[in-house]
Amino acid sequence: MAGGPTGTVAPAGEGAAPWTPVGEDGGVLAPAQLVASPARYHGRMVTLRGEVIGSIMLRGGHGWVNVGDPVAAVGVWAPAAALRVTRFSGGYARRGDTVLVTGVFHQACPQHGGDPDVHASSLQVVESGAPLEHPVPVWKWAVGATLLGAGAFLAAVARRPTRR
């Protein structure tokens, strides 16, 4: 059941038990924290903050997205409507959207082949991604031009006819 434009999704099941997101002091977790202590969070509702990385893979009414930080990434299984609010997936050419995901963490999800994942009940973009620039430093251009010149010189010397 998709909610508003943030991609929030109502928890499944009527009369679901109330929950409190866990993390350090009840706060938001980084993917590295889930990966470092998976047994601590297994089966618990968690709130995760990280960058959308790689491709978003839609599978019918749901889909997968990887949410990462500089150390680790965690797969997130979420309703397709929630995933559609993301605009940028991180990679070499761009920084992905930063999202806040709330859902149940599985250390080894039996539904998804035993991999660790979060079954999201909400996914919200908290910071938009952006294109990244990777300018080439001047010294690299100079080294490249020098090597190109040296290669051309050696090729010319090698093609010169030999005297007998």
Q: Please tell me which residue, 25 or 159, carries the higher pLDDT value.
A: 159
C-alpha torsion angle, residues 38, 112, 110, 20 (rounded to 10): 50
The pLDDT tens digits of the residues spanning 112-158 come to 888 889 999 999 999 999 988 889 999 999 999 999 999 999 999 98
The pLDDT tens digits of the residues spanning 72-113 come to 999 999 999 988 888 888 888 899 999 999 999 999 888 888
CA angle 88, 99, 10 (to 5 degrees): 115
DSSP-assigned beta bridge partners for residue 122: 8, 102
> Quick one: which of 160, 18, 7 has its CA closest to 85?
7
Q: What is the phi/psi pair of residue 89, to 5°?
A: -105, 135
Tokens of residue 59, six digits: 């599978």
Contact residues for 19 (Cβ-Cβ < 8 A; gap 6+): 45
The pLDDT value recorded for residue 161 is 81
Confidence bin at 8 (pLDDT 50/70/90):
very low
> In the chain, where does DSSP find H-type helix?
31-36, 38-41, 80-83, 138-159
Residue 52 has pLDDT above 80, yes or no: yes
> Quick one: which of 101, 105, 86, 100 has its CA closest to 44?
105
Residue 5 has pLDDT above 80, yes or no: no
The pLDDT value recorded for residue 26 is 58
Q: Please tell me which residue, 11 or 78, carries the higher pLDDT value.
A: 78
Residue 2 has pLDDT above 60, yes or no: no
Residue 15 has pLDDT above 70, yes or no: no
DSSP H or E run through 51? strand 45-59
